[in-house]
Amino acid sequence: MTLSFISILALATLALVFSAIRILREYERGVVFLLGRFYSVKGPGFIIIVPFIQQMVRVDLRTIVMDVPTQDVISKDNVSVKVNAVVYFRVIDPERAIIQVERFYDAISQLSQTTLRSVLGQHELDEMLAERDKLNIDIQTLLDTQTDAWGIKVANVEIKHVDLDESMIRAIAKQAEAERERRAKIIHAEGELQASEKLLAAAEILSKQPQAIQLRYLQTLTEIAGDKSSTIVFPLPGDFLGSLKTVINK
């Protein structure tokens, strides 16, 4: 009877010792409470917890990747879109992450959803599609400010998809086509303007030098003569022959 009692006592003592031992990995910390009050943050490595008196909560310090579920967002120009995103964050203060908020992962998930809808709702559809990097920074800054009190750092936010319905896709395609036509007309008009300016400058130069216009006539005749046409009708100014004689004499 005595040996049995000693064996039971030894097993209980051994179990108590093993229950007091904790091993924390390099990326883990243990928030220790003493009789319900915060005591210290321990780890990594081998630590001992006094059973029944101390309790420990493990906290992972690695960067956590969290998907934000698809949200229905109404843009500033009253376009309904579906947007989802991904948030990268990590715990930098284990004490505040455990004490200041209940289940910080769920809290950040809910906060990310409301912040995503709030920020995107202040912008038009064109800005959502063209200025995604700026929107990512705005959402990340706002989330990081709000989670700072929880000891959590939001490192990055990335908007993954902005989904539109078929009618809106067709409208955007028509808008893009109209924009391309507008740019083509502008480029064509600018080309005509530059050509007219060059022609005007050339006319001014030729008007100052009569011999130059006559040489231009001769050059044009040479170019036409190289064609396969058998008959060439070319207008000549009245004073062309007289001016040509003057040029030859010189």
Residue 91, both tokens: 């715990």
* Whether the predicted pLDDT of 103 surpasses 60: yes
Q: Which tokens hold the place of 199?
A: 């022609």
For the CA atoms of 172, 178, 180, 181, what is the dihedral angle to 10 degrees?
170
Average pLDDT of the segment spanning 97-107: 93
φ and ψ at 211, to 5 degrees?
-60, -30
Q: For 30-68, how does the pLDDT look when each residue is reduced to its tens digit (9 = 90+)?
A: 999 999 899 999 989 999 998 889 999 999 999 999 999
pLDDT in tens, 4-22: 777 787 787 777 778 788 8
Residue 117: the pLDDT is 92
Q: In whole angstroms, how far apart are CA 62 and each of 29, 59, 67, 83?
A: 11, 9, 16, 27
